[in-house]
């Protein structure tokens, strides 16, 4: 179980919140992707967890239910730590792991409607050598879902979208580019453009 929404095959969805309370009121949204639940708590301070999990082993004292504030609360003290760690890891490419960015990425929304959207991503090779085989990744910041894609093999794992080349478009020469598109299902949250797109693990300059 991942205690971060949208991260992992099995992750928290119903964190304790008065704002993101979809479990109790369908008119309200679920917690946004990337929010961290408190996680296992053997003290079981709330009545819901105490009744359901009495006698649980410490690391199993967790329930993904909005009523469990002892195990499933969204709070600033641990989400601030998660945000700091995520920012630190994202900065490592700028600190020397990737000394010079050799790609530029453009994310364009060509259409949006109440429950869906149409986007196109273009990756340009700004380096001096050809890219032979490419994998592009970025993450949705809400609860969007990929429904259809073209000119790439596109999959989604949690919030992360991964696009891989097809047999005929795996080579990107210096100065060349590749484009793929997708149709997505819009969720209940905002649908901004991603602020990090990577090519084969290296961050691209956004344009």
| Catalytic residue set | 64, 73
State the Cα–Cα distance between residues 151 and 183, nearest whole angstrom.
Answer: 12
DSSP 154: E
Run of H or E including 18: none
Beta partners for residue 181, in sequence order: 120, 150
């Amino acid at each position: 179980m991942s205690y971060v929404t949208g991260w992992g095959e099995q992750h928290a969805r119903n964190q304790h919140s008065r704002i993101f309370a979809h479990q109790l009121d369908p008119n309200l949204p679920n917690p946004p992707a990337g929010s961290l639940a408190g996680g296992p708590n053997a003290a079981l301070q709330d009545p819901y967890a105490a009744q359901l999990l009495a006698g649980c082993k410490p690391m199993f004292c967790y329930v993904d239910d909005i009523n469990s504030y002892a195990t499933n609360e969204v709070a600033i003290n641990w989400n601030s730590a998660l945000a700091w760690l995520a920012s630190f890891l994202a900065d490592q490419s700028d600190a020397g792991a990737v000394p010079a960015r050799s790609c530029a990425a453009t994310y364009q929304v060509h259409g949006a409607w109440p429950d869906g959207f149409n986007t196109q991503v273009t990756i340009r090779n700004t380096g001096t050598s050809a890219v032979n085989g490419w994998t592009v990744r970025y993450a949705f910041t809400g609860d969007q879902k990929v429904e259809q894609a073209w000119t790439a093999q596109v999959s989604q794992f949690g919030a992360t979208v991964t696009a891989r080349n097809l047999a005929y478009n795996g080579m990107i020469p210096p100065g060349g580019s590749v484009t793929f598109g997708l149709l997505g299902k819009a969720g209940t949250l905002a649908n901004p453009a991603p602020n990090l797109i990577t090519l084969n693990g290296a961050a691209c300059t956004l344009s």
